[in-house]
Amino acid sequence: MKLSVSGRAAATGVVASVTLLVCGSIAGAAPAPLAAAPDIPVANVKAHLTQLQSIATANGGNRAHGRAGYQASVNFVKAKLDAAGFTTTVQQFTASGRTGYNLIADWPGGDPDQIVMAGSHLDSVTSGPGINDNGTGSAAILETALAVSRAGYQPTKHLRFAWWGAEELGLVGSRHYVNNLSATDRSKIDGYLNFDMIGSPNPGYFVYDDDPVIEKLFKDYYAGLGVATEIETEGDGRSDHAPFKSAGVPVGGLFTGASRTKTAAQVAKWGGTSGQAFDRCYHSSCDTTSNVNDTALDRNSDAVAYAVWELSE
């Protein structure tokens, strides 16, 4: 199935001209307005990050694959989704001799042959709590899922959210998921959106340039905010969208930068500190709740919801 966006602006224009012509005649000629994506409260996203930090702190300072902090992270996210009415599934796999878990959450309803997925890895490295990498993506898609539930959103397409295990060991969980889909089930995924590191402390605004429809959606969102974007190039294929892309699924995503250095030209666009990494605490013990830029997290969380709504309606 080809990916498309229904196009709110174009549809609104049509409705306006039709209304002029039929005004006062046949009732109900105008279609119902499309549901607008909600503004995701960044305070809620940050509250999830606080919980993930507490989980790391209580479990030896990390949330890594095969460790207690990872299991606790899965339990935390799963409980929120179950309470919100999602159908959750925990998929097990083995990596480096330890059991790993993917958490999958399906929102009941929508066309099962047209699935829109959003995913983020939930594991950290062993050396730190992994709050920017990747508490931020995990918390943003969690809050977007909760917003779907709060809105009682019933899109045309089926919505599925995923929290991947063992990304830091080489995309193990997401690859396991994709490899275990039949060719038929793979073909039902209209698009996969990936969010890995979306609140870097010295942020850039990077958009994956994979599927052109998804790329345009994110670029348009940022253009609407008056914020410049660049194409993501810091290690193409270095996150969980790669297995989907390899399997022929249209993919896209957002990223605020890892260990690369922010240039003076980028500071001119986005502010921040030139000559310094986007995330100086990448894969380190200082990747804590202090290692997040709230503005970047807010904008990207809102962009997640915008893309999920637009692609599924």
From the list Zn ion, ligand TRP, Ca ion, none, pick the one residue 235 interacts with, judged by a Cβ distance below 5 to 8 Å according to partner type. Answer: ligand TRP
Report CA torsion sign: 102, 82, 119, 245.
positive
- Residue 24 CB burial class (10 angstroms; 0-12, 13-18, ≥19): exposed
From the list ligand TRP, Zn ion, Ca ion, none, pick the one residue 258 interacts with, judged by a Cβ distance below 5 to 8 Å according to partner type. Answer: ligand TRP
For 173, the token pair is 């969980």
Confirm or reject binding of residue 260 to ligand TRP (CB under 6 A): no
Please measure the distance between the N-terminal and C-terminal CA atoms of the chain and give it in whole angstroms.
15
Confirm or reject binding of residue 235 to ligand TRP (CB under 6 A): yes
Strands of the 111-121 sheet, one edge to the other: 87-95, 98-107, 157-164, 111-121, 189-195, 251-255, 206-207, 230-231
Choice from 232, 287, 298, 310 touching ligand TRP (CB under 6 A): 232
Choice from 106, 133, 143, 211 touching ligand TRP (CB under 6 A): 133
3-state secondary structure of 166: coil
- Choosing from 143, 167, 168, 215, the catalytic residue is 167
Task: Write down the least CB distance from residue 283 to ligand TRP, Å.
Answer: 6
- Phi and psi (nearest 5°) for 229? -125, 160
From the list Zn ion, ligand TRP, Ca ion, none, pick the one residue 313 interacts with, judged by a Cβ distance below 5 to 8 Å according to partner type. Answer: none
**Binding to Zn ion, residues 93-152 (CB under 5 A):** 133-134
Catalytic residue list contains 143: no
| Nearest to 270, CA basis, from 258, 256, 282 | 256
**Contact residues for ligand TRP, defined by CB under 6 A:** 133-134, 167-168, 196-197, 232, 234-235, 238-239, 255, 258
Residues near Zn ion (CB under 5 A): 133-134, 196
Q: Which amino acids are annotated catalytic?
A: 167
